[in-house]
Amino acid sequence: MTEGTVVVVGGTCELGKHLARHYADKGHRVFVTSRDLGRAQAAAKEIGGNCIGIAVDLSAPHQIAAALSGVDDVQHLALVALHRDDNKVRDYNIDEAIKLVTLKLVGYTECVHVLCSRMRADASILIYGGLAKDQPYPGSTTITTVNGGVSTLINSLAIELSPIRVNAIHPAQVGDTPAWATKPKEVLDNLRARTALGRLVTIEDVTHAAVFLLENRGVTGVNLRVDGGRMMK
């Protein structure tokens, strides 16, 4: 059997592109998504191989079915996209909160709903959460909530869709992503000191763990932290 299709929703960010490149290099047909078709196509070109860019906006869940209509024979689905919502409860921004909640909890689920009938029997789904679910910080009100939601969403999906496997990955701050690479040195030094390994995890660390969760045939309903031992300190 030929290699199946890999779909990376949020395939224009560095974590998404790195995972997409891993599978494109192995000969899979890979779809990468962005809200913007031009950005998706540019990312697909950068990734190379048989990689195709398509436009999907998770904040408009009713439009997701049409956006994914050309995708079939899915072997791996990775849901990576994020809307960054820095939201403190004393200064609550409802519109920003709705965007992130819709994107991760409704948009991700709608992607699964649309694609599950086009998945191979041994297919797998990986949802990106994050350590903010366990380690809140001022402003993480919505991201802590949705990443907590991701950690339980995978359980119901894994039961309903079996034998399709469904897992979640929860990175701590990924040091070489744009969100963190540009932070002041003292912020990064403080974060490193709070890990058992004395370093921040990397995009490569996250992709390595993502591939394990997507491919290991005995793993479903698992929330895997990739945090350099942050939870032990």
Binding residues for ligand NAP (CB under 6 A): 10, 12-16, 34-36, 39, 56-59, 80-84, 103, 128, 130, 171, 173-174, 177-180
Nearer to ligand NAP, 74 or 126 (CB): 126
Residues pairing with 201 in the sheet? 174
Nearer to ligand NAP, 113 or 122 (CB): 113
- In the complex, minimum distance from the CB of residue 225 to ligand NAP, in angstroms, rounded to a whole number: 10
| C-beta of residue 75 within 8 angstroms of C-beta of residue 120 | yes
How far apart are alpha carbons 154 and 160 in whole angstroms? 10
Nearer to ligand NAP, 120 or 229 (CB): 229
- In the complex, minimum distance from the CB of residue 140 to ligand NAP, in angstroms, rounded to a whole number: 11
- Residue 196 token pair: 């058992």
Nearer to ligand NAP, 50 or 59 (CB): 59
Cβ atoms within 10 A of the Cβ of 35, count? Answer: 17
| C-beta of residue 90 within 8 angstroms of C-beta of residue 137 | no
Nearer to ligand NAP, 173 or 207 (CB): 173
- In the complex, minimum distance from the CB of residue 211 to ligand NAP, in angstroms, rounded to a whole number: 15
Alpha helices in the chain (DSSP H): 14-25, 37-47, 64-67, 94-101, 108-115, 141-161, 178-181, 185-193, 203-215
How far apart are alpha carbons 155 and 226 in whole angstroms? 19
* DSSP three-state, residue 201: strand
Nearer to ligand NAP, 14 or 73 (CB): 14
- In the complex, minimum distance from the CB of residue 121 to ligand NAP, in angstroms, rounded to a whole number: 27
Q: Which of 70, 97, 71 is nearest to 86 (CA)?
A: 97
Q: What are phi and psi of 139, to 5 degrees?
A: 105, -5
- In the complex, minimum distance from the CB of residue 229 to ligand NAP, in angstroms, rounded to a whole number: 15
- In the complex, minimum distance from the CB of residue 157 to ligand NAP, in angstroms, rounded to a whole number: 16
